[in-house]
Amino acid sequence: MLDHDEYNRWHQTAEHNLTSARILADAGSHDLACFHAEMAAQLAIKGLLHGTGVGTKGHDLVELSNALADVIGGDLPKRLQAGLKLLSRHYISSRYPDAYPAGTPGEHYGAEDADTAISEAKAVVEFVSSCWGQLTKAHEEAT
Domain ranges of the chain: 4-142
Per-residue pLDDT reduced to its tens digit, 79-97: 999 999 999 999 999 999 9
In the chain, what's the furthest Cα-to-Cα distance?
Answer: 58
Residue 67 to residue 2: CA distance in whole angstroms: 16
Q: Give me the pLDDT at residue 130, please.
A: 97
143 vs 127 pLDDT, higher one: 127
CB-based contact 108:31 (threshold 8 Å) = yes
Q: Is the pLDDT of residue 136 over 90?
A: yes
Give the model confidence (pLDDT) of 36-48 as tens digits: 999 999 999 999 9
Q: Does pLDDT of 57 surpass 90?
A: no
- The pTM (predicted TM-score) of the whole model is 0.95
User: CA 37 to CA 140: how far, in whole Å?
Assistant: 32
Mean of pLDDT values over 98-111: 95
Q: Tell me how far apart the alpha carbons of residues 11 and 92 are, in angstroms, rounded to a whole number.
A: 22
- Say yes or no: domain 4-142 is CATH 1.20.120.330: yes
- If you average pLDDT over residues 12-20, what whole number do you get? 98
Question: Which DSSP string do the residues of 75-106 spell out, in sequence order?
Answer: PPPHHHHHHHHHHHTHHHHTT-GGGSSSS-HH
Chain-centroid distance of CA 69 in Å reads 14
Nearest 5 degrees, angle CA 29-CA 31-CA 32? Answer: 70
CA dist., res. 63 & res. 115, Å (int): 24
Q: Is 89 exposed, middle or buried (0-12, 13-18, 19+ CB in 10 A)?
A: middle
